Amino acid sequence: MKTEVMLNQLEFNPFSMIQDEGFLISVSQGGRDALMTAGWGAMGFLWNRPIVTVYVRPSRYTFDFLKSSSFFTVSFFPPKMASTLAWCGSHSGRDTDKLAGSGLTACRIGDYLTYEEAGLTFACRKIYMREMDERLVLDKEMTHEYYGEKDVHWSFTGQIEHVYI
């Protein structure tokens, strides 16, 4: 059972949580679920609203779900769940039922999909999305490193509507 908390009650380090631990981006739409492990993200305030921004390539199964849905979640897990996140990151929802294969227990709260095992979940309403423009990346070494195949990320920014622990 998830408990809703106020955003200002949280004490956490988003840098270590995003970079070192990773997280799951999840979207539930039309009776179908998409979840993917991610390691790129940002948190802060935009337009005077608390936000989470995630970055997803169009080649990812979750991309079309994110593009067409109004809601998504970002869920963080305790370190003991690292192998589950690794499994989710090495399998595609095109080929397998990732929710079933992951062993995670879905927890649906309104339009949001999270998991009983998640320690922290941000439930977001999408407020902005955009394809990244590699021409605007000032450090050209990054464009060579990350976009040699031209599968350029899109950014999806969600206003944090709820926080669950």
pLDDT tens readout for residues 60-74: 999 999 999 999 999
Domains delineated in the chain: 4-164 (2.30.110.10)
d(CA 99, CA 34): 8
pLDDT > 90? residue 95? yes
CA-to-CA separations, 79 to 82, 84, 89, 117, 119, in angstroms, rounded: 6, 10, 15, 11, 10
Is pLDDT larger for residue 17 or for residue 36? 36
Residue 148 has a pLDDT of 80
Whole-model pTM: value is 0.95
Q: What is residue 57's predicted lDDT score, i.e. its pLDDT?
A: 96
Stretch 115-144: mean pLDDT: 94
Q: Give the pLDDT of residue 1.
A: 82
